[in-house]
């Protein structure tokens, strides 16, 4: 007789395939595709070379869904696709390798670490903290790194002062990032509850 603890769940049936090499490749490709789609939802801003995109939300989602290691490598694959010239980066940029060294390069190159921090810190904190709160903290730490890297690179590239870097690379995006963090944490905690039922 099966108890609630021994009944198979959907997450158990998926974990077998996800553990195989083809499964890992397919999941990584799907994750990179989601981030690429989010990059094309882009709004250029007249006062900064950094556009508004849904990419940070997608990267946080990848980290939360795949965990720190798989999330890191999925985002490395995404950057490699873009460097090879595939149309995965925001269309407002230069495209290809040039985009990695352009004004938004600091944000892009941080993506593997953003996914790793979001996934790793959330899992670490989830052992003692409600999943939603753990995800909010993990995603907030990841976004802090994203903007430190992105604005830092922009300041070096464009020879901006600290105030100019804040105004061009961080301040216009803070309210949107807060919404994205809450959205990512809500989706993650809702899916975690669903998988337990």
pTM of the model: 0.87
**Residue-by-residue DSSP string for 86-155:** -TTS-TTS--HHHHHTSTTHHHHHHHHHHHHHHHHHHHHHHTTS-HHHHHHHHHHHHHHHHHHHHHHHHH
Calpha distance 192→104 (Å, rounded): 33
Calpha distance 45→49 (Å, rounded): 7
Domains in the chain, start-ordered, CATH in brackets?
A: 17-196 (1.10.1760.20)
pLDDT at 24: 75
pLDDT in tens, 82-130: 999 999 999 888 889 999 999 999 999 999 999 999 999 999 999 999 9
Burial bucket for residue 86 (CB in 10 Å: 0-12, 13-18, 19+): middle
């Amino acid at each position: 007789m099966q108890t609630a603890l021994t009944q198979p769940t959907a997450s158990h049936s998926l974990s077998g395939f996800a553990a195989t090499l083809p499964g890992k490749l397919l999941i990584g490709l799907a994750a990179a595709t989601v981030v690429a789609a989010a990059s094309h939802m882009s709004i250029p801003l007249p006062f900064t070379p950094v556009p508004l995109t849904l990419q940070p939300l997608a990267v946080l989602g990848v980290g939360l869904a795949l965990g720190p290691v798989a999330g890191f490598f999925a985002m490395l694959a995404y950057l490699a696709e873009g460097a090879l010239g595939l149309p995965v980066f925001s269309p407002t940029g230069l495209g290809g390798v040039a985009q990695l060294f352009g004004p938004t390069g600091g944000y892009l190159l941080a993506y593997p670490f953003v996914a790793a921090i979001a996934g790793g810190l959330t899992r670490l904190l989830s052992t003692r903290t409600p999943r939603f709160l753990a995800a909010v903290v993990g995603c907030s730490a990841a976004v802090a790194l994203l903007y430190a890297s992105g604005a830092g690179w922009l300041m070096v590239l464009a020879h901006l002062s600290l105030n100019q870097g804040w105004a061009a690379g961080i301040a216009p995006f803070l309210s949107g990032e807060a919404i994205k963090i809450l959205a990512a944490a809500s989706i993650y905690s809702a899916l975690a509850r669903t998988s337990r039922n």
